[in-house]
Amino acid sequence: MEYVYSGNIILAVLLFAIGALGVVWRRHAIAVFMCIELMLNAANLAFVTFAYSINDSMAAASGSKPLDGAIIALFVMTVAAAEAGVGLAIFLRVYRQRGTINLDEFTLLKD
Amino acid sequence: MLIFTYSMIFAITIVSALIVIVSRNTFYSAISLIVTMIAIAGNFLMMRAELIALVQLLVYAGAIMVLFLFVIMLLNLREEEETPRSLMPRKIAGLLLAMIFIVQAAYITLSIFNIDSVRDPIVLTEEFNASQEKRAEETGVNAFAETLFTKYMIPFELTSVLLLAAIVGAVAVGLKEDKRQAAPDAPQANLQ
């Protein structure tokens, strides 16, 4: 089953890169936000994969168990949920004031 | 057989993630992101992380993405138009960033993981079965709850405070302007 671990690490790397690419490419605030969620998901996947891939000798050497990484992933999910709630409320408010959520339009500090 | 399933999940994850960033329509992006999340839950299942897969489905594919879809519907969005000044340099910068991430992560991963350890998956020997059963016991829901409520008690409680703060913040930010003004002792917001 080792191929699942290696494959998942590669998958997490690719997903993170795709998310970073999307954050830079997309101009839509919600789309950028979704790409950030993608990156969080990739980090989660890497966490769980690294945690589950340790075997008994590694666990004895480092003192950590497979569950530790999985619980960190659970916390990451909670933080992502909180972040999504507040972020989307901010977008709604900005849309009400400015009539758009295209990130290129927000140049108040620049001008 | 298992490797076939795994390759399918892998391909679905990558393709749907690419659709998320390529699609011009934000709604399609959101739907595709849901597919990505479900595929990632499949990835967790392949590692026998059942609880994490379940939470991934419930929290991400369920709650968070429904929130996204609600906001997309509330905002009445047109398709994203590209402003001319931002075309090429940004795309090149994005590609560079992604390349740097991939190279860095590949370097770190290759220095940690031993590629030779990628063995033939069909090793259903007695020893393998025993280790799988032991692993399932170590990472089952019981063990999970025990660790979460003992070793990680304080972070868990702090998480509930964080969620409460997020609820209050979201309501405060999302409140309509006139309602905020109607409050008797609210300061007259004159930010414009």
Which residues in chain A are contacts of B118 at CB distance < 8 A? 2-3, 6
Q: Is the Cβ pair B113, A6 closer than 8 Å? A: yes
State residue A57's pLDDT score: 64
Does A71 have pLDDT greater than 80? yes
Q: Count A/B contacts: CB-CB distance under 8 Å.
A: 227
Domain positions in chain B = 1-76, 120-181
Domain positions in chain A = 2-103
Confidence of residue B14 (pLDDT cuts 50, 70, 90): very high
Q: CA-CA distance, A94 to B72, in Å (whole number)?
A: 14
Residue with tokens 């769980």: A48
ipTM of model? 0.89
Domain spanning A2-103 has what CATH number?
Answer: 1.10.287.3510
- Cα–Cα distances (Å) from B100 to A41, A75, B15, B34, B105, in that order, read 19, 27, 21, 27, 8
Residue B175 is given by DSSP the state S
Which residues in chain A are contacts of B29 at CB distance < 8 A? 31, 34
**Chain A residues 13-42 with CB within 8 Å of chain B:** 13-28, 30-31, 33-35, 37-38, 41
Q: Taking residues A29-49, what's their average pLDDT?
A: 92
State residue A75's pLDDT score: 93
A94 touches chain B (CB under 8 A): no
Q: Pick the residue from chain B with its C-alpha nearest to A81.
A: B64
State residue B20's pLDDT score: 93
State residue B123's pLDDT score: 47
State residue B192's pLDDT score: 47
Considering only CB atoms, A93 lies closest to which of B56, B119, B173, namely B173
Q: CA-CA distance, A69 to B40, in Å (whole number)?
A: 16
Q: Is the Cβ pair A24, B68 closer than 8 Å? A: no
Q: Name every residue whose Cβ is closer than 8 Å to that of residue A70 and which is 6 or more positions away in sequence.
A: A47, A48, A51, A52, B49, B51, B52, B139, B144
Which residues in chain B are contacts of A44 at CB distance < 8 A? 40, 56
pLDDT per position as a tens digit, B143-182: 888 888 998 999 999 999 999 999 999 999 888 766 655 5
State residue B16's pLDDT score: 95
Range from A60-69, B1-10, B61-70 carrying the lowest mean pLDDT: A60-69
Q: Taking residues A64-74, what's their average pLDDT?
A: 83
User: Which of these CATH numbers, 1.10.10.10, 3.40.50.1000, 1.20.120.1200, 3.30.70.1230, describes B1-76?
Assistant: 1.20.120.1200
pTM of structure: 0.83
A59 touches chain B (CB under 8 A): no
Q: Taking residues A10-28, what's their average pLDDT?
A: 90
Q: CA-CA distance, B132 to B144, in Å (whole number)?
A: 17
